[in-house]
Amino acid sequence: MLPEFDLLRPKTLAEALDMLADRAPDVMPIAGGTNVVVALRERAYHSSVLLDVSGLADLRGIRKENGHVAVGGGTTITELVESELIAANGAPLAAAAAQLGNPLIRNRATVAGNLVDASPAADTAPPLLVLDAEVELASKDGRRVIPLDGFFVGVNETQRRPDELLVAVRWPVPGGAAAFHKVGLRKAGACSVVTIAVRLACDEAGKCSMARIALGAVAPRPIRAHEAEDALVGTGLADEDIAAAAMLAVQATSPIDDVRSTAAYRREVSEVLVRRLLGGVRTDVLGQ
Ligand SMILES: Cc1cc2nc3c(=O)[nH]c(=O)nc-3n(C[C@H](O)[C@H](O)[C@H](O)COP(=O)(O)OP(=O)(O)OC[C@H]3O[C@@H](n4cnc5c(N)ncnc54)[C@H](O)[C@@H]3O)c2cc1C
């Protein structure tokens, strides 16, 4: 049984932001509801007022603007999977979206819902981190933009204020090549045990000019492995450079034992996958 709640159904973004400003912090946005409804049922959320943002046109759409890819917060995971623009300009996100939940979940689940829920295992987070994404938050008082790397604070905690909506996610049209891999207990409908995304670019001399490594489900929040990234830049991406970066990436993690895995397994798999994904992407950027 669900607890009783009031449902506010704004027709415009302005109306939604007014309602949030009036009721915050005692109001919770709901988009696809795939996290909120489960949590309400489990009595994990205590809000008695829900603000339905699923009908807001301003939160929808995938477009290119000013050298960036912009995805409205209310964009569904299915829309990401089906978008040619995302396939061409966000390949690791397309790969993650295709493996998120199951078709029914993907039809309802949104990008904003995935990021604001801030599960350590949120599958869109590592790909968006390696794409250098930022999130745009709107309130009645105006808008602000936060790099995604600084948006996550901890388990289910973000920089979002209760009177704000996540209206868009944006990243520069990416250079280099990228990859994503998800380890779950099943091939579909499985919460991630470990997720890895990487992106590399090289200069004309074949030296690594940019490296991004992000990991999910191995720390209280999705993380970038900054030291590992820095160690790769300027190298020729030899096997030993990649192996050293993979070791550094594991040092950035702080996994736990839980129902899905042990911390030791998560560390082991992180090291192996970072090494494998970097090796694969190296082939793409160097043609070796
Ligand atoms: C069976 C099942 C399988 C799943 N599998 C996966 C999986 O494989 N990988 C994965 O990452 N997740 C998975 N999930 C979790 C969930 O589906 C995703 O996190 C999804 O993207 C949440 O989106 P939503 O629109 O349903 O969010 P909601 O449940 O509507 O909201 C989630 C949170 O985001 C907030 N919110 C929503 N929209 C906005 C907005 N525009 N601005 C501000 N705050 C907002 C809500 O207030 C709430 O705090 C699964 C869930 C279920 C039930």
| Any atom of ligand 1 within 6 Å of the Cβ of 97 | no
Q: Ligand 1 mean position to 34 CA, how many Å?
A: 5
Q: Ligand 1 mean position to 203 CA, how many Å?
A: 39
Q: Ligand 1 mean position to 265 CA, how many Å?
A: 26
The stretches in the chain having pLDDT less than 70 are 288
- For a mutational test of ligand 1's pocket, the pick from 26, 117, 146, i.e. the residue with the most ligand atoms closer than 8 A to its C-beta, is 117
- Model-level pTM? 0.97
pLDDT at 67: 96
Pull the structure tokens for residue 173: 């049209």
- In the chain, count H helices and then E strands: 12, 14
Angstrom distances, CA of residue 16 to CA of 7, 12, 29, 58: 12, 6, 9, 11
User: H helices of the chain, where?
Assistant: 13-23, 36-41, 77-82, 84-89, 91-99, 103-108, 111-117, 125-130, 148-151, 226-232, 239-251, 263-286
